[in-house]
Structure 1
Amino acid sequence: MRRPMTAAFGRLRLYATGLPVALSILLSLHQPISPPSPGESPGTPARGTARMGMGVALHDGRTGSPDTRTAATQPEGVDVSSHQRTVAWSTLWASGVTWAYVKATEGTYYTNPYYGSQYTGSRAVGMIRGAYHFATPDTTGGAAQADYFVDHGGGWTRDGTTLPGVLDIEWNPYGDACFGRTKASMISWIANFLARYKARTGRDAVIYTATSWWTQCTGNYAGFGATNPLWIARYAATPGTLPAGWPRHTFWQYTSTGPTVGDHDRFNGSPDGLRKLATG
């Protein structure tokens, strides 16, 4: 009986040794999940993992394909975050992408660990580039988040290659779509962010949003259209109806499933117009 028992124990030890390895492989295939903060449910994405367009496909289309006649005149761009990690910028440049936005910060608690390499890498191949901030109006005030953004990569210089910073204000991936704010308090939060960013950099920040979110969470407020360029998110064949106050969009994020890495976008103008936006 001794030999069969020895073999059985050997198989048990092998199983026990292999189990943690198997579990670690399975866990690595899934998005990291942080313990929920107060008011957040188990299974909520980890804080810091938010990126442009996380809710767009659920609300404003699945994918888009702009009119091919504009491809030669409207500069193609991408937006990236830590989700993309190492980006093949030379490949993007060769495919016709000439500008990029990189996630720099989120709230006042997160900086993109790949920001430096993504930001400098895009410029190294010849792109005009800028930084964006994912807003979390349920954590800290608008002015505080603008300061955090500027202090961690979101500044601006008049060098002709730096685009103004972007306020990414959209669906909350961590909880309530409008971050638990009333329409009036959301408008106030956005205004505080924009005012502080302008005071710190001398530029009016671009607002990235979707018409459906803007309508739901600000009541389709029209007060920023005269000063802040609009980056509209809509995964469809056209940008569709814009939020109130904006007669035209400046950028359009039209898909998250483009032929190359990152979400794909179009600048609503000429290459000279893009350089002018960078120059200020």
Structure 2
Amino acid sequence: MNDAGRSPRHPRRRPRGAARVTTVTGALLSLFALLLALPAAASAATNGAGASPASVTTSRDHVTHPQLDWAGSTIPSHEGGGSHGGTVTPDATLTSGMDVSAYQGSVDWTTAWNNGARFAYVKATESTTYTNPDFTQQYDGSYDVGMIRGAYHFATPDTSGGAAQADYFVSHGGGWSGDGKTLPPMLDIEYNPYGAECYGLSQSGMVGWISAFVNEVHARTSRWATIYTTTDWWTTCTGNSSAFAGNDPLFVARYSSSAGTLPAGWGYYTFWQYADSGTFPGDQDYFNGAYDRLQALANG
């Protein structure tokens, strides 16, 4: 039988040394490719690119002075103002109130009530590492004198995801009950007191972070969060998104004789922080309506 065209019974093998070199070279190339990919992956995780904003986390929790971070603490240095000397001329009935944090310490709530304050927002948390040491005195004390009160969270979107911070907030004072005396939980989102104005997020990334926060608060409490911000910050850092106006009450900060232009989508403000000191301890606020409408907001 003719063996022409058959494969040899023992085909010629490559030397063992050559195979070993090829294997090592391939492994080194794979390792090199992995190292090249790491910076891009880290950047995507930090900025939220290609990932759900709720899952974005970093190992950097640089919250070093949370006792100095409160609703409006960053505004005078960015927008000027402060304790305004003008007179607010309301377009309709406004109800007076205030917001406080650990910066105020123990508050004399009886005097604040006697001077006309009818509601208060109290800082509860910041990031996922800080709780206000004066929260109980402030939150319960305002309630005890008859005020309608709520809790707020100072956001740091570069330290952890929106859902993670919402969970921490709700678990540390940011809940809600339908007792007629509890305002919706509030998200304080403003200029970064630790660095980049928009916390290193793109406008779409910031919108995603806020969405994750308010959606988680709603899932945990059944209430849509009040959003505290300024028109300038909102325009710069969210692209003036109108995505939240349909559900979330607006708490606008502007230290002037009027609330001015509002962020996109909101036809009116629910709360207005008009000064950082005055008649009451803490910041000076108005609810846009009579007291019975404030009660209606608390009741949901």
TM-score, reference length from structure 1: 0.82
* Whole-Å separation in 2 of the counterparts to 1:39 and 1:154: 21
* 1:193 equivalent in structure 2: 213
* Offset at residue 257 of structure 1 (A): 2.0
Identify which of 136, 142, 157 aligns with 1:116: 136
* Whole-Å separation in 2 of the counterparts to 1:49 and 1:60: 18
* 2:69 equivalent in structure 1: 50
TM-score, reference length from structure 2: 0.76
How many percent identity over aligned positions? Answer: 53
Q: Secondary structure at the match of 2:124?
A: strand
* Offset at residue 57 of structure 1 (A): 1.5
* 2:124 equivalent in structure 1: 104
Q: Secondary structure at the match of 2:102?
A: coil
Would you say 1:278 and 2:298 are equivalent positions? yes
Query: Residue 73 of structure 2 aligns to which amino acid in structure 1?
Result: M
Change (3 A) 1:179 1:159: same
Identify which of 76, 98, 101 aligns with 1:78: 98
Would you say 1:130 and 2:150 are equivalent positions? yes
Would you say 1:92 and 2:107 are equivalent positions? no
User: Rg larger in 1 or in 2?
Assistant: 2
Change (3 A) 1:47 1:127: closer
Query: Residue 167 of structure 2 aligns to which amino acid in structure 1?
Result: D
* Whole-Å separation in 2 of the counterparts to 1:170 and 1:124: 30
C-alpha contact 1:197 1:205 (8 A) present in aligned 2: yes
Q: Secondary structure at the match of 2:272?
A: strand
* Whole-Å separation in 2 of the counterparts to 1:111 and 1:185: 26
C-alpha contact 2:122 2:150 (8 A) present in aligned 1: yes
* Whole-Å separation in 2 of the counterparts to 1:236 and 1:47: 26
Query: Residue 299 of structure 2 aligns to which amino acid in structure 1?
Result: T
C-alpha contact 1:76 1:97 (8 A) present in aligned 2: yes
* 1:67 equivalent in structure 2: 88
RMSD: 1.8
Query: Residue 104 of structure 2 aligns to which amino acid in structure 1?
Result: Q
Identify which of 202, 222, 230 aligns with 2:250: 230
* 1:26 equivalent in structure 2: none
* 1:143 equivalent in structure 2: 163
* Offset at residue 45 of structure 1 (A): 5.8
* 2:269 equivalent in structure 1: 249
* Offset at residue 48 of structure 1 (A): 4.6
How many residues were matched structurally?
Answer: 240
* 1:170 equivalent in structure 2: 190
Deviations 1:90-135 (A, max 9, x none): 1110110010010000010000000001101001111000000000
Structure 1 gaps of 5+ residues are 1-36
* 1:29 equivalent in structure 2: none
Q: Secondary structure at the match of 1:153?
A: coil
* Whole-Å separation in 1 of the counterparts to 2:146 and 2:91: 22
* Offset at residue 58 of structure 1 (A): 2.5
Query: Residue 107 of structure 2 aligns to which amino acid in structure 1?
Result: V
Change (3 A) 1:244 1:66: farther
Query: Residue 260 of structure 2 aligns to which amino acid in structure 1?
Result: G
